[in-house]
Every structure is written in structure tokens, then in C-alpha cells.
Amino acid sequence: MAVYRRPNRARFLLLLLVLTAITLVTIDTRGGGHGWVGTVRAKVHDLFAPIQDGTHAVLRPVGDFFTGAVHYGDLKHENAQLRDELAKARGQQLQAADAQRQLQFLLQQEHLTYVGNIPTVAAQVVETSSSNFELSVQINRGTTSGVAVDMPVVTGAGLVGRVGEVSATRATVLLITDPTFSVGVRLPTGDAALASGTGRGNPLRVDLVQPDLKVGLGSVLTTSGLQLARFPKDIPVGKVASLKQVPGALQEDMTITPVVDLNRLEFVQVLQWSPQ
């Protein structure tokens, strides 16, 4: 039996809507958007506005993603340039601060009140000793600059050590904390004693200290400058760190800490001086 099929009403309605839309657009274009056609178009816009806004909100991240992907290389290059410029600026700032600090340190070295008229040679520490058997530093001055073995080495604070070895452009300075180092010192009371190194990071031991001396903690001991001494007098050596009298002993036990921070040596002065 034959079956009756009605025309596809969906297709018919779609065609009708398309024709109507074309007609409205044509009339609206000719009429300049005024009258009842303009009103209808406004209603249609209002009807579809939420859908359009939603579509725009959904598609915006996608658009931003593709835009960012296109310009990613440029942004990466700009960020690298900015980081490089920032690093250079920081480096220049640190260099300026370090130069200022070094200048201040050198100015302090220029006026060593305790050396009198003794000629000096300014030097920079270029290497520290890694040996546990010898505590020393190397400086960038040698015989061509007038440096010789046994010359005292100081800073603005006080005694660093003495020149142990020397070449044309380099010299090794034996530090006062080295176990083989000793220096004659004078106490605030005027009495003479002998200070000796006891190793890295340790205070110097002071011998020949007479009992019952009135010496307070923190008192500064200076080089004695006695005849045939290796150092001129009045160079600060160390501050009294401990003082103890042992019953029945012929001397007091005394230790001093160096007045110079030997762990942070940068610039020193070599005194062109030899024992008289």
C-alpha cells in the first residue's frame, strides 16, 4: 500500500525565514534603517545579543591564545633583553660600590700614624695560603717595587706579618698567627713581652708577662721596637683576650686577638724598614 509523505515542513520554514531576512535587509538598506523595519531589526538585535555576547566570551580566550602564540617569540626576546639590561645595571652598581669601598680603604691606608717617616709600598692580596703548616698570603708587589724579605706588613689597623719570600713581582707574607711567628710587644704598663702565633683562628700567646701587672681585658699591645727587633715600635698588634695568674707561676697567662681581621685582607702596606 502506498504511503503518503508530506513535504518537509522544516526545509520550507527555513527557506521562508531566509527569504524574509533578505527582504528585510533590502528594505532596511533602502529605507536607511527607519520606520517599522528599523524597529524590527532592533528587536532582533536585542533577541540575539545574549547569544552574541556568550559566543564572544567563549571565543575570546581562543583568540587571545592564538595572538599570544604569534607574538610569543617577540615577547621572549624582549624579556631576555630586559633581564640582560637589569643584570648589567646591577653589575655596574655592585662595581661602583666595590670601587668606593676600595677607595675608602686605600685612603685609610695612606695615613698610618704609627709608621712616621718610614717609606711604604701599597700592595693587594692576590692569594691566600691553603696550607695548614704555613699561614700566609701573597701580594702583587716584589723586588721591582722595593719589597725585601723580613719587611713588616701592616694595614691601617695594625700588624699583619712580615715578608717571608719575595720575587720580582710577588711576595709571600707570613701572618702573625703562624706558629713560627713571634714579635716583641709592649704592654700598656710599659713592660715588654713576647707574642707568638698559635695557628689559624687562634689568639696569640704572650710570654714573659710579669705577675700582678695591672692590665685590663681589651688593652692594646703594640710592637716594642727594642734594639735588633724585627719591627718598628708602636704598631698595634692585638687586644688582650684573656689574662690569668697561675699560683706559683713566674708569669701570667695572657692571650691577645689580632687587631687586623686576617680573614678579610685585601690591601696592605709593606714598610721599607729593616732592623737597626
Write the CATH number for 158: 2.40.10.340
Share of the chain above pLDDT 90, in %: 37
Scored b (16 or more CB within 10 A) or e, 146-177 reads ebeeebbbbbbebbbbbbbebeeebbbbbbbb
Please tell me which of 33-37, 145-149, 248-252 the model is most confident about, judged by mean pLDDT. Answer: 145-149
Same domain flag for 256 and 121: yes
Single-letter amino acid, residue 188:
P
Residues 121 and 239 in one domain: yes
Question: Of 74-78, 107-111, 251-255, where does mean pLDDT reach its minimum?
Answer: 107-111
pTM: 0.61
Judgement on whether residues 65 and 129 belong to the same structural domain of the protein: no
Residue 167, C-alpha cell as written in the block: 720575587
If asked whether residues 227 and 133 sit together in one domain, one would say yes
Q: Identify whether the C-beta of residue 151 lies closer than 8 Å to the C-beta of residue 270.
A: yes
Rounded to whole angstroms, the Cα distance separating 245 from 252 reads 5
Return d(Cα 174, Cα 82) in angstroms, integer.
48
pLDDT of residue 116: 81
| pLDDT tens digits along 190-233 | 899 999 999 988 999 999 888 878 888 999 999 998 866 789 99
Name the nearest CA neighbour of 137 among 182, 173, 83. Answer: 173
227 lies in the same domain as 194: yes
What per-residue confidence (pLDDT) applies to 195?
95
pLDDT above 60 (res 34) = no
Is residue 3 included in any domain, yes or no? Answer: no
Highest mean pLDDT among 71-80, 91-100, 122-131, 217-226: 217-226
Mean pLDDT score of the chain, rounded to an integer?
A: 78
Tally of domains in the chain? 2
pLDDT, residue 46, reads: 60
Judged against a pLDDT cut of 80, whether residue 243 lies above it is answered with yes
The answer to whether residues 86 and 141 belong to one domain is no
Note down the domain range covering 128. Answer: 117-276
Across 9-18, 86-95, 170-179, least confident range: 9-18
Q: Which residue among 78, 110, 142 closes a domain?
A: 110
Q: Is residue 207 part of a domain?
A: yes
Whether 33 has a pLDDT exceeding 60, the answer reads no
